[in-house]
Chains A and B, each alone.
Chain A
Amino acid sequence: MRILHYWRAMAGIVGRELLRFLHQRERFVSALVRPLVWLFVFAAGFRAALGVAISPPYETYVLYEVYITPGLLGMILLFNGMQSSLSMVYDREMGSMRMLMVCPLPRWFLLCSKLIAGTAVGVLQCYAFLGIAWLYDIQAPLMGYGWILPALVLAGMMLGALGLLLSSFIKQLENFAGVMNFVIFPLFFMSTALYPLWKIKESSPLLYNLAQYNPFSQAVELIRFALYEQFNQQALIYTGAAFLLFMGAAILGYNPSRGMMVKKGG
């Protein structure tokens, strides 16, 4: 019976998130517009400026648009993860988070369910983006679109857990804008989403090191390799470890007696 309760609760949380997502069409559109602008405008403009040499998983020279597509998938997941945590801060201020926390299930389970729900939305957005990119002639091997699913899920979970962790620290919604600037931009720009590591190394060894150990880079590489039916073990381990670390800290942050909840009051 207990397992059935867990299952129903998780289905309820994921279902609610998907319903909310379907009802907020502007959220869906804006989630797609951002990476599409990067793809159509930024990448097209930089195509000439940035040549991308052959490096795994690519077996030939690729257009810059092709190179940044996995990075833009990472961007979708990153924004989605942060937006989910933004909604957690909002939910907490508005009280619906309390509604969730007061139901008779362990908090770690509720947080994991919330995370899975957010990730499901992110993965949907990614596939919609890939569909449009396909029409724009950015086409990966067909099997790659299946391979990419577990990579998107893990990357989404890792970035969502980071957002969850941040949301446990943030007292008010207003503080969130600052965190977005201090988290999203550094994570995104100091990564392999826009330029390959060797290119970064040429310009700055420090930036190269930062980008290499940036968990967002590893998530993007995991996606990049999966899209071309390849398995990047290092990226998988790194992304998985980052997920466990962020998730553990977030659960601690939401613990009623130990974490930030006590300090925040309310």
Chain B
Amino acid sequence: MSEIALKVSDLSFAYGAKKALDGVGLAVASGECTILLGPNGAGKSTLFSLITRLYDARQGRIELCGFDIKRQSLQALAKLGVVFQQTTLDPDLSVSQNLRYHAALHGIGRKAADARIREELERLQMYERRGEKVRQLNGGHKRRVEIARALLHKPKLLLLDEPTVGLDMPSRRAIVDHVHQLVKQQNLAVLWATHLIDEIADDDSLIVLHKGRVEAGGKLSDVLRDTACADAGQVFQKLTQDPPGVAT
């Protein structure tokens, strides 16, 4: 039985009168890549903001590796690695400087930090470029650095908020493959928000979020069976009822 890295129960959140999340429940286990699929405005970003504790929900509960995000936030956040939708690297600093800053925030000493930076960057074939300023990197390479950064403190759960937006096909493919590899090799739990259907692998889990509600959830094969659809694209169409326009 794999360990549950993220458990969200009965989570609701509203911006004023506008409800963004309505009774959301989901779980992500270690060694599992869960794709969070939803059109714009479905509540993906709100869900991520609540998991990363940018703000607190008044209703519902979020647990990271058994730690309540509200009451035991520091223990919970220590288990979490995040890649936000927008680049959050400092463009004027080098790759190493950016990563060392992150390591310091997580209390990792200089020597240990340098070793981990090497390990993570080598995995992504970026170690030779550690001295370059982030400004000089292309979009795909910046993303790689951000993934390396999110893994520096060895989190149990990796949150990816549309990390491939704006990247070309080869860069996207490289990131998708890399993350799936991490899930298998390091028993990492991944929650990946996207609206790009082709980023879903056959053995991934799928959660379809629409208008703040979970419309379907489970292993991709189970969701396909339950919804009588041939592929994830059809599931998305059927459950969100949006006109075509979803990138594939």
Contacts A12-B100, A99-B88, A102-B82 given; does A265 touch B15 at CB 8 Å: yes
Judge if B107 is at the interface, Cβ distance under 8 Å: yes
Sorting the interface of chain B by its residue count into under 10, 10 to 19, 20 to 34 or 35 or more gives: 35 or more
Which A residues from 66 to 101 make CB contacts under 8 A with B?
94-96, 98-101
From residue B145, how far is it (CB to closest CB) to chain A in Å?
13
Q: How far is the CB of B83 from chain A (nearest CB, A)?
A: 10
Identity of the chain A residue whose Cβ is nearest the Cβ of B149 in the assembled complex: A99
Q: How far is A257 from B84 in the complex, measured between Cα atoms in Å? A: 21
Contact (Cβ within 8 A) A9 B93: no
Which B residues are CB-close (under 8 A) to A261? 54-55
Q: Quick one: given A99-B84, A103-B77, are A4 and B15 in contact (CB under 8 Å)?
A: no
- The CA-CA distance from A200 to B77 in the complex, in Å, is 53
Residue of A nearest to B51 (CB): A102
Residues 88-127 (chain A) with a chain B CB within 8 angstroms: 94-96, 98-106
With a cutoff of 8 Å between Cβ atoms, the chain A residues found around residue B56 in the complex are 256-257, 262
Task: Name the interface residues of A232-266: CB closer than 8 Å to any CB of B.
Answer: 256-257, 261-262, 265-266
B114 shortest CB reach to chain A, Å = 13
B46-89: CB near A (< 8 Å → 1, else 0) gives: 10010011111010000000000010011111101010111111
Instruction: Across the interface, name the chain B residue whose C-beta is closest to A100.
Output: B105
B45: min CB distance to chain A, Å: 8
Complex-state Cα separation, A11 to B106, whole angstroms: 12
What separation, in Å, do the CA atoms of A257 and B85 have in the docked complex?
Answer: 23
Query: Which residue of B45, B70, B89, B105 contacts A103 across the interface (Cβ within 8 Å)?
Result: B105
Does B109 make an interface contact (CB < 8 A)? yes
B108's nearest neighbour on chain A, judged by CB, is A8
Q: How far apart sit A12 and B100, CA to CA, in the bound complex (Å)?
A: 8
A132 at the interface (CB under 8 A from B): no
Question: Is B9 among interface residues, defined by CB-CB distance under 8 A?
Answer: no
The yes or no answer to A203 lying at the interface (CB within 8 A) is no
A265 to chain B: closest residue by CB: B15
In the complex, the answer to whether B109 meets A104 with C-beta atoms within 8 Å is no
B92 on interface, CB distance cutoff 8 Å: yes
Total chain A interface residues with beta-carbon distance under 8 A: 33
Q: Which chain B residue has the least Cβ–Cβ distance from A262?
A: B55
Whether A20 sits at the interface, judged by CB under 8 Å, is yes
Q: Does B172 contact A (CB under 8 A)?
A: no
A94-B88, A95-B84, A95-B86 as given contacts; A104 in contact with B53, CB under 8 Å: no
Contact B90 A96 (CB under 8 A): yes
Contact (Cβ within 8 A) A105 B74: yes
Q: Does B141 contact A (CB under 8 A)?
A: no
Residues of A within 8 Å of B86, CB to CB, are: 94-95
- Residue of A1, A24, A104 touching B92 (CB-CB under 8 A): A24
Cβ 8 A contact of B74, one of A96, A98, A104? A104
**B77/A102 in contact, CB under 8 A:** yes
Contacting pair B106 A256 (CB below 8 A): no
**B88 & A23 in contact (Cβ 8 Å cutoff):** no
Q: A20 to B82, alpha carbons, bound, how many Å?
A: 23
Q: Which A1-24 residues have C-beta < 8 A from chain B?
A: 1, 4-6, 8-9, 11-13, 15-16, 19-20, 23-24
Which residues from chain B contact A1 at a C-beta distance below 8 Å?
A: 107
Question: When chains A and B are docked, how far (Å) is the Cα of A16 from the Cα of B100?
Answer: 10
Most chain-A Cβ atoms within 10 A of its Cβ — which of B49, B58, B88? B88
- Chain A, residue nearest B146 (CB): A99
Q: Are A9 and B54 in contact (CB under 8 A)?
A: no
> What CA separation (Å) do A22 and B90 show in the bound complex?
14
The answer to whether A4 touches B52 (Cβ under 8 A) is no
Closest beta carbon of chain B to A251's beta carbon, Å: 15
Chain B residue at smallest Cβ distance from A23: B92
A20 to chain B, nearest CB (A): 6
CB of A171, distance to nearest CB on chain B (Å): 12
Would you call B102 an interface residue if the criterion is a C-beta within 8 Å of the partner chain's C-beta atoms?
yes
Q: Which residues of B contact A265 (CB under 8 A)?
A: 15, 46
CA distance A103 to B103 in the complex (A): 10
Among B82, B88, B104, which residue has its beta carbon within 8 angstroms of that of A12? B104
Max chain B C-beta neighbours (<10 A), residue from A100, A103, A106, A257: A103
Tell me if B54 and A11 are in contact (CB < 8 A): no
Q: In the assembly, what is the distance between CA of A254 and CA of B97, in Å?
A: 27
Q: Which of the residues B52, B90, B107 comes within 8 Å of A5, measured between beta carbons?
A: B107
- 11 extra A-B contacts, CB within 8 A, seeds A8-B108, A11-B104, A15-B101: A4-B107, A13-B101, A23-B92, A95-B88, A99-B82, A101-B54, A104-B106, A261-B55, A262-B55, A265-B15, A266-B54
